[in-house]
Structure 1
Amino acid sequence: MKFDQIKQIYPEAQLVHEPKNTNVTVSFPFKDQWIQFNAATKTNRELDLLQLMFKPEQAPLQHAAKQSDWYAFLLGERNELPEKTGDFRVIQFALLKKDQQFDQKTWLKAFKSMFESVDEAFFIDETAGLLIQSESAGKLTVEELSAIIQTLDDDFSIKTICYIGQFWPFNSDFRSIIMEEQIIFNKQKNKTSALFSLPTVALNYYTAEALEKSPLMQALKKKFIGQPEWKELVLAMWHSQGNISLAAKSLYVHRNTLQYRIDRFYELSGLSLRDMNDLLLCYLLLL
């Protein structure tokens, strides 16, 4: 499909050189650029359809992956469980902006070296794959992993998006849980940071559809769409969990300036960002 044809269907679509995914915009890879859409005007079903439209075509799987017990089990080629015990997590990854010189095997080896107790790692297509890790004493934080992956991206001149799964007991429920994590990854990877986990996206993922169906919430949301400066204020207060000093620091403003903005926000919206219930409601309106 050509960009002109997409433009006829979605007049607001734009070609950009770098992806910009926020609560109001969403980007998808298109040839050597990105197509940016207005996410605020799209339903979840439309966004899912766009995700399918711009999903890269899958290349034939590597022979090594085909022989993997983990691959066969997690992707549904066999129902019996591999002979494993303990807790495991699956780290999903997708590579963006790789060039023709990219060496898949070298990158995968470097990626595996970042984690302890790796049981297996493999690509499932040209750009995406899974790493299975058994639970161990040494666990890097999301912030530490993010810094390491950024260094790896710089070395290989690519961009990596990762979902850090939870550790789950290896039992008959394991595959269905991982399948849900895969759905979460595919739906949220263009809406959040390059490295994320369930706690960072759960509220967004599990409430977005319900909010979309609510006339009351949609009516409130219209107020927020018309006030773009509110988003920055609400997010700063949410990320600081109501701590005004931390929020002021993140916004690079004086505490008194932020106090004034919060008071002004209350006058216009009737919602107090000092109250955690009101703050949660305001955050939900941005999802």
Structure 2
Amino acid sequence: MYDRLHHFYQHALALDNTPAPDKLTLHFPNDRPRKLVLDKSKLSQAEIALLNTLFHTNVAVHHQVTQENEWLYEWLINGHSPPKHKLERLTPPPLRCIHFSIKGELNEIDAFIEAIKNVFPSVTNLLWKSRTEGVLLQHLPEDTVEEELSVESIIDTLATDFLIQTSFFIGSPIDSSHLLYERFKWETTLYDAVKMTFRKKSFFYEQEIVTYYLLHHIPESTLKLVSTMLDSVMNDRELIHSIKTYLECNMNTSLAAKKMYVHRNTLQYRVDKFIEKTAIDIKQFANAAAVYLLILRLEAK
């Protein structure tokens, strides 16, 4: 059955960059097992409905969707436009999406849902995109000042409690419910790309995700060529870590030194050492930006 459908739907096979909401996954549990991932934009509505009926698709997690959230699931995950009266009942903006993915076997789904809603305040909905991926909709009251999330602490807690690895992408706020679907698709495309390339990074913020997305598309040949700029220092992990921290602190030596628990003069020495060895003056913004992006991309290898 898998081989026949694979041949018949050759024109509709999903690609790596196909947005997750546009993917239709057909499961074949008795066939090794295998799955076939199709691009819904290349199928008719009748074909999608038939395949959903005949196979275990990625709506296998639909049991987690309450009747109240079903229209939202159909809108964001399956791309079916909601009735106007349903959209008007959506929690008023500003809203944002918090995307997450899981590595490992999640056995206590209900407990996980409760835990993840507890660590992200003002969550109004949780929707599963697949068995290992989901999205939270979070309301951001206009009259409150949000405290910076300790995402690393959240990830550590979930790992301890559920023995899984969790990755997050904190999306950007939207001020209109009508923008939610397009923002959701855009952020899903970005997250699907960068989380595969930057596997060592467990969370992303909306301010940085585009940077990682652009880095994801740097050809290996180009990366190999420009990385020679750092050949003289790449084996010095302490130095690279210091320079990365210095650049992340906007080239503020005092702030970076405090963050690293070292004396300011120690960090200044390392910055000068980097400049001397590479002949790249990272005290200049253009050079600093180029070096920082290069370090991020090389760390992903």
TM over 0.5: yes
273 and 162 in structure 1: CA distance in 2 versus 1, 3 angstrom threshold? same
The equivalent of 1:221 in structure 2 is: 227
The equivalent of 1:273 in structure 2 is: 282
The equivalent of 1:143 in structure 2 is: 149
The equivalent of 2:94 in structure 1 is: 87
Q: 1:173 aligns to what SS in structure 2?
A: helix
Q: 2:119 aligns to what SS in structure 1?
A: coil
59 and 222 in structure 1: CA distance in 2 versus 1, 3 angstrom threshold? farther
Asked whether the equivalents of residues 224 and 231 of structure 1 are also in contact (C-alpha less than 8 Å), the reply is no
The equivalent of 2:71 in structure 1 is: 69
Work out whether 1:118 is the aligned partner of 2:123: yes
Q: 2:166 aligns to what SS in structure 1?
A: strand
Query: Partners in 1 of 2:192 and 2:145 — Cα distance?
Result: 25
The equivalent of 1:241 in structure 2 is: 250
124 and 235 in structure 1: CA distance in 2 versus 1, 3 angstrom threshold? same
| Candidates 88, 100, 109, aligned match of 1:104 | 109
Identical aligned residues as a percent: 23
The equivalent of 1:60 in structure 2 is: 60
244 and 77 in structure 1: CA distance in 2 versus 1, 3 angstrom threshold? closer
Asked whether the equivalents of residues 65 and 71 of structure 1 are also in contact (C-alpha less than 8 Å), the reply is yes
The equivalent of 1:3 in structure 2 is: none
Count of aligned residue pairs for this structure pair: 233
Considering fraction of residues, name the structure with more helix.
Answer: 2
Q: Report the Cα offset of residue 252 of structure 1.
A: 5.3
The equivalent of 2:291 in structure 1 is: 282
Instruction: Give runs of aligned pairs for residues 197-212 of structure 1, distance below 5 A.
Output: 197-206=205-214, 208-209=216-217, 212=219
1:179 is aligned with what amino acid? Answer: K
Q: 2:267 aligns to what SS in structure 1?
A: helix
Q: Report the Cα offset of residue 74 of structure 1.
A: 0.6
Query: Partners in 2 of 1:214 and 1:66 — Cα distance?
Result: 48
Asked whether the equivalents of residues 129 and 135 of structure 2 are also in contact (C-alpha less than 8 Å), the reply is yes
Asked whether the equivalents of residues 66 and 72 of structure 1 are also in contact (C-alpha less than 8 Å), the reply is no
110 and 220 in structure 1: CA distance in 2 versus 1, 3 angstrom threshold? closer
Q: Report the Cα offset of residue 71 of structure 1.
A: 0.9
Instruction: Give runs of aligned pairs for residues 178-193 of structure 1, distance below 5 A.
Output: 178-190=184-196, 191=198, 193=201
Work out whether 1:78 is the aligned partner of 2:86: no
117 and 257 in structure 1: CA distance in 2 versus 1, 3 angstrom threshold? closer
Q: Report the Cα offset of residue 104 of structure 1.
A: 0.8
2:102 is aligned with what amino acid? Answer: L
| Candidates 162, 167, 188, aligned match of 1:161 | 167
Q: Report the Cα offset of residue 178 of structure 1.
A: 1.1
1:61 is aligned with what amino acid? Answer: V
Query: Partners in 2 of 1:227 and 1:269 — Cα distance?
Result: 7
Query: Partners in 1 of 2:210 and 2:147 — Cα distance?
Result: 18
Query: Partners in 2 of 1:161 and 1:112 — Cα distance?
Result: 15
Consecutive unaligned residues of structure 2, counting only runs of 5 or more, are: 1-15, 24-33, 36-57
Consecutive unaligned residues of structure 1, counting only runs of 5 or more, are: 1-46
69 and 146 in structure 1: CA distance in 2 versus 1, 3 angstrom threshold? farther
Query: Partners in 1 of 2:110 and 2:148 — Cα distance?
Result: 24
Query: Partners in 1 of 2:266 and 2:121 — Cα distance?
Result: 46
97 and 76 in structure 1: CA distance in 2 versus 1, 3 angstrom threshold? closer
Q: Report the Cα offset of residue 106 of structure 1.
A: 2.0
Q: 1:262 aligns to what SS in structure 2?
A: helix
Work out whether 1:195 is the aligned partner of 2:203: yes
Q: 1:143 aligns to what SS in structure 2?
A: coil
Query: Partners in 1 of 2:241 and 2:170 — Cα distance?
Result: 27
Q: Report the Cα offset of residue 180 of structure 1.
A: 1.1
Asked whether the equivalents of residues 98 and 135 of structure 2 are also in contact (C-alpha less than 8 Å), the reply is yes
* TM-score between the two structures when normalised by the length of structure 1: 0.67
Query: Partners in 1 of 2:105 and 2:64 — Cα distance?
Result: 22
Aligned alpha-carbon RMSD (Å): 3.4
Deviations 1:91-126 (A, max 9, x none): 111122235xx2112211222233333321132322
